[in-house]
Structure 1
Amino acid sequence: MSQDWTSDNDDSDKFEWESDGEAEPSSAPAFRNLDAAGPSTLDSNGWANEEAPPTSLVEGYVLMGFPKEMVLKGIKEIGHSDANALLELLLTYKTLGDDAAAGNCSTSGCFPQSVEDDDDFDFENWDGDNDADGREPNPDSSGDEDFLREMSEKDNKIKSLVDMGFPEDEANMAITRCGVDAALTVLADSVYASQAAGDCHYGNLSDYEVTGSCFDSLGGRKRARLMEGSKKKRKRYGGAAQGNRRPLDGSHEEPMPLPNPMVGFNLPNDRLRSVTRRLPQQAIGPPFFYYENVALAPKGVWATISRFLYDIEPEFVDSKHLCAAARKRGYIHNLPIENRFPLLPLPPKTIFEAFPHYKKWWPSWDPRRQLNCLQTSMSSAKLTERIQCALASSGNPPPKSVQKYVMDECRKWNLVWVGKNKVAHLEPDEVEYLLGFPRDHTRGVGKTERFKSLGNSFQVDTVAYHLSVLKDMYPNGVNVLSLFTGIGGGEVALHRLGIHMRTVVSVEIGEVNRRILRGWWDQTQTGTLIEIADVKSLTDDRIATFVRRFGGFDLVIGGSPCNNLAGSNRHHRDGL
């Protein structure tokens, strides 16, 4: 069993995962005593008797997730009579960095500081002796401020990716590849792609251009000190300093351009576009192969995959064109692209078509009509409680800053509205539905395991649309070699298409995934399922034995590269 899987026992995750355990509106902080008098004497923070904020007020903002020091700093700056203004200021602090309010920070200029215990580097007090030509440092330099803010934004995005379960060094590299302004969903896809490629070793910094406009306004020595300070700060998350990884094949090729819109060669009911492609003679099936990878792969990865598969160009598809959730993937295959047909009934393409009951509480300022890529983990109850408290203490509609905070979290975690000011993550059966799996496909294992398995799977409707051309070609069924099967997205697609699977040789290292696949197979299939845990044991001799035994394979399908690949782990993908 892969080390990336956790226990099937849900006890340790109950509070974080059970949506019914979320705080009720009555638990929101009480802001009704905003003008209550403070202590009659100066307290330890130096508040006068008419200035001290009510304890309940401070505790309320702390419950929302703001550090106490940040709350006190904000109150000292603008007072506490205007709850909305104070909340906007705290959210501004949060955007610029959690540590900002603890130091010399205001809404007009905020310099994040490192809180590393052994970090003696001070962003705000420049040492003039280290500056070139002995000039006096200027702490108010706009270039310095821009640089620091970009560093703060990068650190915040790294922390968000770490909170989502990604290693810090891989999160850092995703931002380097995609840019600090890239959405978290784009960064997450980039990390998945890097993990799939085995692209986890660092190259020399000089191999890549890692400069931005804010770098150009800083002197060389000062810039070096800023970078060093940022490196130290990110050590809090257990990661390495900023660096770059070499492409999988060691090349310096540019990233493969992605189509926009990402609609593949064609879509169901799309009769306007006529796309033809020519395959190399040696690539024409049968047998057919079908390999999936995340679209936003590091440069050189798609070129490498294509080179090993007859130089076939990938078909890029975003599943939002076929269902209610985005999923940007590329598929290298030698399947025909004419006479495809979709699964029926057609899946819903919007959130409200899929889950109409959520429309009751959906606010007008939430413009989402589709969900982002479904992830391998879900938000915590603490986050949804903080969102509830932020909304309860705001007007209707809430201020723009509160809306932005809430929408950023809702997009990041695919949160839906389940009550007044109340959001929650999707439940596993809802994720199954969005991905095209039968209800309860993953039921029987821990909730955490279900989310991880589903987040790593195929989107069944998309894959089935591509595989549909096989139905008329194989009326008596197919023999399938399924590499990195996961929870059987490819097999479910074939089953829903009505294509009988005579034999499936499944290679999957995850014990939980194998259990899910076996349970589904025993309930729905009459063919033979042969399970192999480690791809390294699938030797040439063993494949030859299967070919003699079954007469060969009609389809070789490669599972989602987001999975832990058999015979490897998340960081070193030997065996692919």
Structure 2
Amino acid sequence: MDLNSDINDDDNEEFSWESDDDEKENRTGIPGEACEAGPSQPSLYSHFIAMGFSKNMVEKAIKENGEGNSEAVLETLLSYSAIENPYLENGDGPIESSIASNVDGLDDDSYDTDGSDDQELIETLPKKDRNLSTLVEMGFSPKEASAAIDRCGLKASVLELADSIHAAQMAEDSDGIVWGSPTVNKPDEATFYSTSRKKRRLIEEKRKHRRNRLHGSRRGEYLKKAALDVDNIPMEISKPMIGFGLPFEKCIKSRNLPESALGPPFFYYENVALAPKGVWDTISRFLYDIEPEFVDSKYFCAAMRKRAYIHNLPIENRFPLLPIPKKTIQEVLPTTMKWWPEWDKRTQLNCLQTCTASAKLTERIRKALDDYGDVPSLRVQEYVLAECRKWNLVWVGHHKAAPLEPDEIEMLLGFPKNHTRGGGISRTERFKSLGNSFQVDTVAYHLSVLKNLFPDGINVLSLFSGIGGAEVALHSLGIRLKAVVSVEISEVNRNILRSWWEQTKQKGTLIDVDDVQKLDGDKLEKFMRRFGGFDLVIGGSPCNNLTGSNRHTRDGLQGKDSSLFYDFFRILDLVKCIMGKKF
């Protein structure tokens, strides 16, 4: 997963990195004038061109519906698009009908044939509740949705309400700008286009929601809950981030899981903890209302890595991997102690990134320190420390700060030495693959409960496998891997996992799937018949639309890559459905 950055190109060898340390929300949207007047936007023609529709299609839709009805024009355009892509309109049989779209995807026990029950259920709700439910499913909080409806009135369309929320968010982030102010700066072209693309995606998801074939009973409960729960606040992150407890310390022994969350199979989902507002509430809603376990890996190694995990694993009788990893920079990298300045008080590293600092940056640091001798000024110290924290620089000589090497990152993340080295893999690719991986010791602590449950080995469906963090963790725990179906789009990562599998002389079966969207009900059922089902579904979807450092495409679960979370749920839902039928 590529993480875009706005860092100066002189300071990094890549264009992106991953960091969890920035909790500040990055909101974008189109500010409008007073709600009653509707959202501020260019001409209708330009508006839909900016959303990505072709000129001919827009002209035809406007001619058919007139310029006064933007909603009808949009529906017509989406219909044209659906005709061009008939896959969206057709299911592939009873198993495929349980597949969830990005918005419409709760687990159910039975399915209808044409989706009419679902649509009828939505239509029976009051208009305010229907709009509120739609906005909540778009990713807005119930409070934001309710406030927008109160501002704009019941006659406002969902598009106008969404624009209203975006404008309110921008006004909230701006000094001295109040909603409804008669003068609002026109958004720049890039902001408008970004929001338009997002809006188009959300509306397409709404249409998929109408077409989905899930039965209406539990869906209705969800919609009513979302509509009524307007006072719900965003999920709080525990501090300190120790989850249900740490090794050798007093821990929470049990928790109550919803009946729908119980296995088989066990499942385990991971992503960045400090995601945009509402993301973890949404993920939790889809994953059977299980609350995330927030854990910072600084309690397991010498580097911070703030993550959230939603799973249905037992939490009692966990145990850590041995030997226990060292937890300070000086213990992990003892040769740096000789050169470590007294004014650098760091004992742990920040989140390990997907790229590294450039030689130019380390040269600037050396020159800045050389100019001041042994005791640099406070200003220089602050500058150097800021760069060292940002890029995880360590001291390797007199006034010489250097980035971590891939081998050192492997060690910090709990992978075996040379796990990503050789085989045609470049240094840059090693940084990227490692930066996007699990911290093995942390994940192994959670998965350790499986050892006694599966003494003869385990069948694993590994989604977004990366370089095999889950597989390495299970193997390190002494859990035999009977069968692993690994889904990973990166050929580099697939080669790394395959190489590790062969080097560790695994006796089980490893199957590669190169694209999560190719994994449909038929393929899953074949795998499950072959191996007798899956004991564990594990993975973490790409996080580059969620991380605080990503200023360009931090779009939450609507982002191009992070929306793949819905594929995790889709596949998990299918596995539960197929196993429920006892295939």
Verify same fold: TM over 0.5.
yes
Question: What residue is the counterpart of 1:100 in the other structure?
Answer: none
Amino acid at match of 2:432: K
Question: What residue is the counterpart of 1:552 in the other structure?
Answer: 533
C-alpha distance in 1 between matches for 2:256 and 2:350: 33
**Quick check: 1:370 aligned with 2:348?**
yes
Question: What residue is the counterpart of 1:74 in the other structure?
Answer: none
Question: What residue is the counterpart of 2:439 in the other structure?
Answer: 459
Whether the 8 Å contact between 2:23 and 2:274 is mirrored in structure 1 is no
Aligned residue runs from structure 1 range 374-453, under 5 A: 374-444=352-422, 445-453=425-433
C-alpha distance in 2 between matches for 1:299 and 1:243: 20
Q: Are the structure 2 counterparts of residues 224 and 282 from structure 1 closer, same or farther at C-alpha, using a change threshold of 3 Å?
A: closer
Q: Are the structure 2 counterparts of residues 555 and 536 from structure 1 closer, same or farther at C-alpha, using a change threshold of 3 Å?
A: same
2:496 to 516, 525, 532: 516
Structure 1 residue 199, shift from structure 2 partner: 8.3
Structure 1 residue 394, shift from structure 2 partner: 1.4
C-alpha distance in 2 between matches for 1:286 and 1:216: 52
Question: What residue is the counterpart of 1:206 in the other structure?
Answer: 167
Q: Gaps (5+ residues) in structure 2?
A: 29-136, 141-158, 207-225, 547-558, 569-583
**Quick check: 1:177 aligned with 2:26?**
yes
Structure 1 residue 208, shift from structure 2 partner: 1.7
C-alpha distance in 2 between matches for 1:209 and 1:275: 43
2:484 to 499, 504, 511: 504
Q: Which one has the largest radius of gyration?
A: 1
Q: What's the secondary structure of 2:271's corresponding residue?
A: strand
Structure 1 residue 286, shift from structure 2 partner: 3.2
TM-score, normalisation: structure 1: 0.61
Structure 1 residue 560, shift from structure 2 partner: 5.2
C-alpha distance in 2 between matches for 1:563 and 1:178: 15
Amino acid at match of 1:548: R
Amino acid at match of 1:489: G
Q: Deviation per CA, 1:487-529, whole angstroms, max 9, x where unpaired? A: 0000000000000000000000000000000000011111100
TM-score, normalisation: structure 2: 0.60
Structure 1 residue 216, shift from structure 2 partner: 6.3
C-alpha distance in 2 between matches for 1:162 and 1:319: 30
C-alpha distance in 2 between matches for 1:468 and 1:289: 14
The farther-off stretch of 550-559 and 447-456 is 550-559
C-alpha distance in 2 between matches for 1:507 and 1:497: 22
Q: Are the structure 2 counterparts of residues 279 and 461 from structure 1 closer, same or farther at C-alpha, using a change threshold of 3 Å?
A: same
Question: What residue is the counterpart of 2:284 in the other structure?
Answer: 306
C-alpha distance in 2 between matches for 1:159 and 1:555: 39
**Quick check: 1:257 aligned with 2:236?**
yes
C-alpha distance in 1 between matches for 2:173 and 2:518: 47
RCO (CA 8 Å, sep 6+): is it higher in 1 or 2? 2
C-alpha distance in 2 between matches for 1:455 and 1:288: 26
Structure 1 residue 176, shift from structure 2 partner: 4.3
Q: What's the secondary structure of 2:254's corresponding residue?
A: coil
Whether the 8 Å contact between 2:27 and 2:170 is mirrored in structure 1 is no
C-alpha distance in 2 between matches for 1:281 and 1:199: 25
Question: What residue is the counterpart of 1:297 in the other structure?
Answer: 275
Q: Are the structure 2 counterparts of residues 162 and 397 from structure 1 closer, same or farther at C-alpha, using a change threshold of 3 Å?
A: closer
Amino acid at match of 2:26: R
C-alpha distance in 2 between matches for 1:322 and 1:270: 13
C-alpha distance in 1 between matches for 2:196 and 2:298: 33
Q: Are the structure 2 counterparts of residues 364 and 452 from structure 1 closer, same or farther at C-alpha, using a change threshold of 3 Å?
A: same
Structure 1 residue 315, shift from structure 2 partner: 0.3
Whether the 8 Å contact between 2:139 and 2:278 is mirrored in structure 1 is no
Q: What's the secondary structure of 1:215's corresponding residue?
A: coil
Whether the 8 Å contact between 1:456 and 1:560 is mirrored in structure 2 is no
C-alpha distance in 1 between matches for 2:272 and 2:242: 14
Q: Are the structure 2 counterparts of residues 409 and 508 from structure 1 closer, same or farther at C-alpha, using a change threshold of 3 Å?
A: same
Q: Gaps (5+ residues) in structure 1?
A: 6-156, 180-196
**Quick check: 1:468 aligned with 2:448?**
yes
Q: Sequence identity, in percent?
A: 58
Q: Deviation per CA, 1:274-315, whole angstroms, max 9, x where unpaired? A: 353101123223320000011011122212211221110010
Whether the 8 Å contact between 1:376 and 1:451 is mirrored in structure 2 is yes
Whether the 8 Å contact between 1:351 and 1:371 is mirrored in structure 2 is yes
Structure 1 residue 537, shift from structure 2 partner: 1.5
Q: What's the secondary structure of 1:329's corresponding residue?
A: strand
Structure 1 residue 440, shift from structure 2 partner: 0.1
Amino acid at match of 1:485: S
2:458 to 439, 464, 478: 478
Structure 1 residue 342, shift from structure 2 partner: 0.2
C-alpha distance in 2 between matches for 1:417 and 1:321: 23
Amino acid at match of 1:211: E
Whether the 8 Å contact between 2:273 and 2:307 is mirrored in structure 1 is yes
Q: Are the structure 2 counterparts of residues 279 and 572 from structure 1 closer, same or farther at C-alpha, using a change threshold of 3 Å?
A: closer
C-alpha distance in 2 between matches for 1:546 and 1:281: 26
Structure 1 residue 451, shift from structure 2 partner: 0.2
C-alpha distance in 1 between matches for 2:278 and 2:458: 34
**Quick check: 1:528 aligned with 2:509?**
yes
Q: What's the secondary structure of 1:317's corresponding residue?
A: strand
Q: What's the secondary structure of 1:211's corresponding residue?
A: helix
Aligned-pair Cα RMSD in Å = 3.9
C-alpha distance in 2 between matches for 1:511 and 1:449: 11
Question: What residue is the counterpart of 1:189 in the other structure?
Answer: none
Q: Are the structure 2 counterparts of residues 507 and 162 from structure 1 closer, same or farther at C-alpha, using a change threshold of 3 Å?
A: farther
Q: Are the structure 2 counterparts of residues 359 and 342 from structure 1 closer, same or farther at C-alpha, using a change threshold of 3 Å?
A: same
Structure 1 residue 206, shift from structure 2 partner: 1.6
C-alpha distance in 1 between matches for 2:309 and 2:240: 16
Structure 1 residue 569, shift from structure 2 partner: 5.9
Q: How many residues align?
A: 392
Q: What's the secondary structure of 2:246's corresponding residue?
A: coil
Q: Deviation per CA, 1:83-117, whole angstroms, max 9, x where unpaired? A: xxxxxxxxxxxxxxxxxxxxxxxxxxxxxxxxxxx
1:215 to 151, 158, 176: 176
Q: What's the secondary structure of 1:536's corresponding residue?
A: helix
Q: Are the structure 2 counterparts of residues 411 and 340 from structure 1 closer, same or farther at C-alpha, using a change threshold of 3 Å?
A: same
Structure 1 residue 203, shift from structure 2 partner: 5.5
Whether the 8 Å contact between 2:16 and 2:355 is mirrored in structure 1 is no
C-alpha distance in 1 between matches for 2:396 and 2:332: 15
Q: Are the structure 2 counterparts of residues 291 and 241 from structure 1 closer, same or farther at C-alpha, using a change threshold of 3 Å?
A: closer
C-alpha distance in 1 between matches for 2:194 and 2:261: 43
